[in-house]
């Protein structure tokens, strides 16, 4: 599985019908197995499946330390990928598999428990970022989005310092793009208390919960935030920025990290 997109011939209506060749982003199921038990099937582009699988498990509190992971393999079955993750503890102990339908149209496991637990946390980190740096990072995110420009079908997320974009990930789902960043930081022991995530896509509560759980103190998006995510940001102390445009953005919560605010 190497191609990121596939070409199709379609008909476009524009004052009449004409033939047109377009690129559609690839969509592949990734089934995550944990100690031999299926956790979830995510729909993704098949890029960085190891980081995506581990990021999902970390975001959903199945693992809390990289040392718990004893084996991680990804198997290509042609029409799908299967991530086999083995851990040294019992990830299912005292776990009630509540399900909720998230705004990303997927089933969120233990969503209620995640909210109750994470909303009690306080996100630290003394990163300081200027408005000009926020706007510059959002511009760079757009410039790097070659797959979006080709297919118009993906979201993008990046791990940054105020001065530099360190990691860039893209996927059909904004949740997946965030999880890939979280998974890589988790597995590679990347310090995040001086970092920020700049992303595309609506900031719903499940997105904010992922970022809080990994401990990144600043989350910024070119889209807007939901009311629930704003409330959670103010409870946890995460700096939340949305609706980034060429020369403007909204600050939903700051906690002293934006210079001049």
Contacts of 236 (CB under 8 A, 6+ apart): 118, 119, 121, 122, 123, 212
Structural element, H or E, at residue 39: strand 37-44
Cα separation of 194 and 253, whole Å? 17
Spot the catalytic one: 44, 88, 105, 185.
105
Is 88 a known active-site residue? no
Paired tokens of 107: 């089933």
4 phi and psi, to 5 degrees? -90, -20
Report how far apart, in Å, the C-alpha atoms of 203 and of each of 68, 81, 115, 222, 226 are: 30, 27, 15, 9, 6
Measured at the CA of 76, the angle between CA 52 and CA 87, to 5 degrees, comes to: 50
Which residues are annotated as catalytic? 105
């Amino acid at each position: 599985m190497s191609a990121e997109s596939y070409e199709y011939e379609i008909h476009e209506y524009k004052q009449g019908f004409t033939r047109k060749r377009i690129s559609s982003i690839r969509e592949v199921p990734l089934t995550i197995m944990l100690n031999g038990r299926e956790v979830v099937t995510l729909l993704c582009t098949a890029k960085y499946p190891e980081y995506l699988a581990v990021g999902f498990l970390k975001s959903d509190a199945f693992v809390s330390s990289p040392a718990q992971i004893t084996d991680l393999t990804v198997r290509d079955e042609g029409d799908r990928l299967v991530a086999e993750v083995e851990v040294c503890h019992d990830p299912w102990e005292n776990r009630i598999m509540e399900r909720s339908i998230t705004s990303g149209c997927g089933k969120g496991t233990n969503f209620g428990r995640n909210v109750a637990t994470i909303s009690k946390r306080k996100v630290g980190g003394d990163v300081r970022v200027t408005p000009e740096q926020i706007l510059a990072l959002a511009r760079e995110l757009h410039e790097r989005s070659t797959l979006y420009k080709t297919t118009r079908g993906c979201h993008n997320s990046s791990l940054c310092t105020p001065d530099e974009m360190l990691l860039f990930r893209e996927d059909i789902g904004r949740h997946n793009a965030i999880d890939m960043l979280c998974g890589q930081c988790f597995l590679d022991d990347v310090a995040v208390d001086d970092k920020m995530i700049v992303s595309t896509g609506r900031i719903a509560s499940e997105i904010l919960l992922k970022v809080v759980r990994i401990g990144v103190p600043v989350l910024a998006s070119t889209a807007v935030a939901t009311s629930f995510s704003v409330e959670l940001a103010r409870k946890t102390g995460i700096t939340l920025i949305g609706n980034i445009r060429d020369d403007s953005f909204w600050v939903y919560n700051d906690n002293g990290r934006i210079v001049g605010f």
